[in-house]
Amino acid sequence: MQKIYLVTGRTDMRKSFDGLMDIIRDNFQMEPFSNVVFLFCRRKKNTMKALYFDRDGFVFLQKRLDNGKFQWPRNASEVRSLTRQEFLICATCRF
């Protein structure tokens, strides 16, 4: 993977592959088939999904916290690029 994009704001976690790809295309004019990871977070900030294309198909990951919340930006109009280190911090930090 070349980049990791954190989709800020709230995402409807009922969405699966197609719904998340629509968000990537429609809201951010980006191509989900590129070599990047897109991260999405639920309104309650206790669930995060990751979507990326891996040569021959999409990989779809989900993490739900039993306790605590992910630290997640509120600005819904931006996609922010993350380093791998920032991603690891985002995936493991709670408050």
How much is the pTM?
Answer: 0.78
pLDDT value at residue 5: 84
Q: Give, for all 95 residues of the chain, the pLDDT tens digit.
A: 678 888 887 888 898 889 999 988 998 888 888 888 889 998 888 999 999 988 889 998 999 989 988 877 777 666 666 677 777 766 665 54
The pair of structure tokens assigned to 90 is 């985002």
- DSSP letters of 27-77? HH---TTSSEEEEEE-TTSSEEEEEEE-SSSEEEEEEE-SSS-B-----TT
Which residue ranges make up each domain of the chain? 3-92
pLDDT value at residue 95: 43
